[in-house]
Amino acid sequence: MSNPYAILFEPVQIGPVTAPNRFYQVPHCNGMGYAFPSGLAAMRGIKAEGGWGVVCTEETEIHYTSDLSPSLEGRMWEDSDIPAMAKMVAAVHEHSGLAGIELVYSGQHARNHFTRAVAFGVDSFSVPEYFPAQTRMADKEDLRALRRWHRNAALRAKQAGFEIITCYAGHTLSIAMFMLLKRFNQRTDEYGGSLENRTRLLRELLEDTHEAVGDTCAVALRLAVDELLGPEGLTHDGEGTEIVAMLAEMPDLWDVNVSNWSNDSGPSRFMKEGYQEKYISFVKGLTSKPVVGVGRYTSPEAMVSVIERGVMDLIGSARPSIADPFLPHKIKEGRVEDIRECIGCNICASADNKNIPIRCTQNPTMGEEWRRSWHPERIPAKRSKKSVLVVGAGPAGLECARALGQRGYEVTVTEAEREPGGRVIREAELPGLSEWRRVVDWRLTQIEKLPNVTIYPGSKMSAADVLESGLGDVIIATGCSWRRDGAGRTLLAPIPGWEGEQVYSPDDLMAGILPIGKVLVYDDDHYYMGSLLAELLAGNGCQVTLVTPGHSVSAWSDYTLEQAHIIRKLRHLGVEMRTHSLLTQIEQDRTQVQHEYQSEPVWLDADAVVLVTNRIPNDELYRELKPGMALEKLDSLRVIGDAEAPNIIANAVFSGHLAAQEFDEVVDPDVPNFRRERVGF
């Protein structure tokens, strides 16, 4: 039978070049950029190896006055930047992919913290992050210089071997896009006023790029066609359409999406597969050029559908290509069940936002391709005939067992609960998180195929059970539990009154034990759990107040691009939010809350309190067995995941994978267990 997804493997002509198939890894940041060229090249190369026909860079600065530091992005400031970029191109070409580069002059988005240069922008506007610095307003000489720099960067990109050069007007991050937007562009010269004038710079950049490199390179335009701000911003059925109509045949490829980044990389908690279609589907009707769009597509049926319905010509992807660099090959080989589907958690984005190398919840090898020589599909074979016992089948235990099994070891997994999956299956029941189940589903599907790995659910292990099992190599992955006493990041001691019957932990709520009436959720965890429980309770008819010592609600979720969506959602549900506030006393019907900057506490009525603070590792089993090691009853013992130290799910998966990779290997604890890039030394 022919492959039902064959259409996805048709070549696509893009200007003077041909993409080998319809899988297009759109530009995406990764926290490596100019600082980690070898790591970056290895990561991009593996995507090409996995079948992505086009593999692009992250945003690449064209000039030192557009320095995005401390963010680690690409740099094409001068000729000496070419070799680092060429390294990535070579890695992509090695696997017959096309390499694309996204050129940016950021304008007011550039902080220039490293160069200390002054950036110019559409006007004199503030740079990001509440830093009290502004751009200067670009005059015509500046704009002529900008065109020269852009052209030079395109020529350098061509020299580095790139086949697709992207002019960038996306994410409300580049001067070309700021020029388009009425609320930023108040200029009175030929770059301001009418839409035609506001589009002038973008048109010029497209023309310049065509003229400079268009003989052999395709020129793409990455444009956000809607900012999801309503009439305040660009809309797809307003000026978005007019801009596309105006520039319709100018680029060789339209790469279209929505802005800003938190909308483009919409978290799965709020946006589902294909969520951008309604905004971008008009584009193909206005141009004869190919169109690429994104929408966290992981299902080949959905991909075929958007091609057949004429929504787009190429399936754009950042996150699905991060979670599974081999997604195209798996579809081609009819191994759809092997796709490691992105869960839309945006931990990948958080790494870029924290200026550290990319990581992924689903794919523990992401960002580790060069420094640890990890590969998403291959792993070194076993070194011995040892059999391993893994206790606990949460994300850490399952990934460890799967990877050990892939290496060829005999693995026994015991799990106390009837269903494997640990925290993931509990958390996936919370509002919007159903896709997170994929972390468990993918691992169980893979383990099912491994005859050497057996899972025994409903098997709670004691230390005696472990020692009696006869298995000498033991990995403990027993997870953690939420604290019940409210001690945490801000208040180190238990909160007075925590023993009351009306006080709940997240574990209670996830077990279906739900309070009613007026509920105070105290969030000293600062990621997703506090807001999710508030959402759950409000949805159940409770009157919810979210109290947090944080300076904003769910503060850490800003890095995963979720915070704005969370706050909007809680507002919509009528949840009262109090920041900078400590929960200092719990009584039967009321709670005492102390604002950080006010001298007197307030008393709030509350029938129930939910404490979302620290967690306690479930490491009793490990601690009991450790003396057993001393008595030489076991050959090896290791604790991983949340049982070692509570963390995010991505870390549990990573921890499990690391333990499997290091099992039976000689590891020197005195030096790093990875290579480092020290460029220039």
Active site residues: 29, 168, 171, 264
Q: How far is the CB of 456 from ligand ADP (least distance, A)?
A: 9
Which residue from 76, 138, 205, 345 is in contact with ligand SF4, where contact means CB under 6 A? 345
Q: How far is the CB of 366 from ligand SF4 (least distance, A)?
A: 7
**Cβ burial, residue 592 (10 Å; 0-12/13-18/19+):** middle
Give the one entry of ligand ADP, ligand SF4, none that residue 360 binds, where binding means its C-beta sits below a cut-off of 5 to 8 angstroms depending on kind: ligand SF4
Q: Does 362 bind ligand SF4 (CB under 6 A)?
A: yes
Which residue from 56, 88, 155, 360 is in contact with ligand SF4, where contact means CB under 6 A? 360
Give the one entry of ligand ADP, ligand SF4, none that residue 413 binds, where binding means its C-beta sits below a cut-off of 5 to 8 angstroms depending on kind: none
Give CA–CA dist 256/240, Å, rounded: 10
Q: Does 396 bind ligand ADP (CB under 6 A)?
A: yes
Under DSSP, is residue 504 helix (H, G, I), strand (E, B) or coil?
strand
Q: Does 327 bind ligand SF4 (CB under 6 A)?
A: no
Q: How far is the CB of 323 from ligand SF4 (least distance, A)?
A: 4
| CB-CB contact of 506 with 483 (8 Å) | no
Task: From 144, 156, 152, select the one nearest 204 (Cα to Cα).
Answer: 144
Strand partners, 608: 519
C-alpha torsion 340→558→594→484, nearest 10: 10
Q: How far is the CB of 461 from ligand ADP (least distance, A)?
A: 4
Closest to ligand SF4 by CB, 224 or 322: 322
Closest to ligand ADP by CB, 264 or 427: 427
Q: How far is the CB of 362 from ligand ADP (least distance, A)?
A: 14
Q: Which stretch binds ligand ADP (CB under 6 A): 55-63, 472-480, 502-510, 623-631?
A: 472-480
Task: From 550, 602, 548, 549, select the one nearest 575 (Cα to Cα).
Answer: 548
Closest to ligand ADP by CB, 49 or 415: 415
Closest to ligand SF4 by CB, 312 or 561: 561
Closest to ligand ADP by CB, 342 or 393: 393
Q: Does 319 bind ligand SF4 (CB under 6 A)?
A: yes
Q: How far is the CB of 422 from ligand SF4 (least distance, A)?
A: 17
Question: Amino acid identity, residue 225?
Answer: V
Mark 261-300 with x for binding to ligand SF4 (rule: CB under 6 A) and - for no binding. Answer: ----------------------------------------
Q: Does 110 bind ligand SF4 (CB under 6 A)?
A: no
Write the DSSP assignment of 355-422 as a string of letters. Answer: TS----SS-TTTT-TTTS---SS--PPPSS--EEEEE--SHHHHHHHHHHHHHT-EEEEE-SSSSS-T
Q: Does 348 bind ligand SF4 (CB under 6 A)?
A: yes
Task: From 615, 617, 641, 636, select the one nearest 625 (Cα to Cα).
Answer: 636
Q: Which residue has the tokens 């002038």?
A: 200
Structure tokens at 289: 């050029």
Q: Does 641 bind ligand ADP (CB under 6 A)?
A: yes
Q: Does 364 bind ligand ADP (CB under 6 A)?
A: no
Q: Does 433 bind ligand SF4 (CB under 6 A)?
A: no
Under DSSP, is residue 57 helix (H, G, I), strand (E, B) or coil?
strand
Which residue from 205, 225, 258, 342 is in contact with ligand SF4, where contact means CB under 6 A? 342
Q: Does 621 bind ligand ADP (CB under 6 A)?
A: yes
Give CA–CA dist 554/531, Å, rounded: 7
How many C-beta atoms surround the C-beta of residue 493 within 10 A?
9
Q: Does 466 bind ligand ADP (CB under 6 A)?
A: no
Give CA–CA dist 223/563, Å, rounded: 24
Q: Does 347 bind ligand SF4 (CB under 6 A)?
A: yes
Q: Does 652 bind ligand ADP (CB under 6 A)?
A: yes
Under DSSP, is residue 614 helix (H, G, I), strand (E, B) or coil?
coil
Give CA–CA dist 112/639, Å, rounded: 43
Residues that bind ligand SF4 (CB under 6 A): 319, 322-323, 342-348, 360-362
